Amino acid sequence: MILIGTDDGIHRWFQGGPWPVFHSLQHRAINQIVSSGSGALVVIDEGGAILESRDNGLSWREIPAPEGATRPTAIAAGSGIEAPVVAAFKPFSLYFRVFGSAKAWTKLPEPAIEPDSSSPPPFVRVLAQGKPDPAVWYAAISGRGLWRSGDSGASWKACSLAPSEVFSVRVAGVGAGLVVAATNDGVWISEDGGETWADRGKGLESARYARAVAIDPDDPNLLLAGAAPRGGIDASSPGKKAPLGFALYESKDRGKTWSHVRRGFPERLEFDSIIDIRHDPAATEFALVAFDSGEMWRTRNAGEWWEPFSRQIQSARTLCAVT
């Protein structure tokens, strides 16, 4: 099943479903959804609230923010009903708690970034947990690239990516070690759990601005990316939109080479952008691509053909694969 965070709550889609149906949290704009399995869900809404559900969204409870924190910017969870949950807040800070726990948030050390008075205050845009090692975490920081912790957030080290902006991080569930990052300057790949990185750009020379990436859960050689020409617009700057001209790309060799996807998919999105891509973990030949406008496209046969899927729900903001 794939959950879709929209401007009007959460919708869901599953294999055999003709279109998304409403799931939960009506009248809330949902910015992020994470699932740790076993019915455990955590969301951030546009108002800055963090809510968690132990029953796959049938009921929710709001989790108070830590004292001194003003707004959550990213969240990630480990596996299981008592999974570790890590959240980032403004002002720049990181906190930890156990899913379902009555205990308050525990503050984590922040990455030791260099101060820069000429840039906007940094914030964590993306959080992700490593696999199979649950002690590994990744944090994409605005303007400061990607950071890695190998000790559950006790310490952080900058990853060796050249780009300063990372918009999406995906970690392979099989084939330990593969991590893929979509950045403002290409798709970067690590084969050793985030220790070292390489720019895998063959086939993406004209589309260096990568907003979203996905790894096939059954075959880490198969990757998808939503990317556009860099142009003069960069979504890392507040109030600015992503570049025009997004297209879908695929790799069948673990990111070494990429090809432009057509096969029914729009050749180029002149007035829209790709914001998220997810495979259905229960049937990985099914995948969804969400556009910034709320339009979604899908494949039901591992990318052999793509088709429009939904144009009727309000703007899609995020996708979440639920096992």
Question: 112-261 — its CATH code?
Answer: 2.130.10.10
Residues 223/180, Cβ–Cβ less than 8 Å: yes
Of residues 239 and 214, the one with the higher pLDDT is 214
Of all residues in the chain, the percent with pLDDT exceeding 90 is: 69
Contacts with 224 (C-beta within 8 Å, 6 or more apart), sequence order: 213, 214, 248, 249, 250, 251, 261, 277, 287, 289, 303
pTM: 0.92
Res 317: pLDDT: 87
pLDDT band at 314 (very low <50, low <70, confident <90, very high): low
DSSP assignment of 247-288: EEEEESSTTSB-EE--TTS-S-BSS--EEEEEE-TTSTT-EE
What pLDDT digit, counting tens, does each position of 287-301 carry?
Answer: 999 998 888 899 999
Q: In the chain, what are the domain boundaries?
A: 112-261
pLDDT in tens, 190-228: 999 999 999 988 999 999 999 999 999 999 999 999 999
Query: What are the residues whose beta carbons fall under 8 Å from the beta carbon of 198, sequence distance 6 or more?
Result: 188, 189, 190
State the pLDDT confidence band at 3, using cuts at 50, 70 and 90.
very high
For 177, the 3-state DSSP assignment is: coil
pLDDT band at 175 (very low <50, low <70, confident <90, very high): low
Name the pLDDT band for 237 (thresholds 50, 70, 90).
low
* Across 151-157, average pLDDT: 94
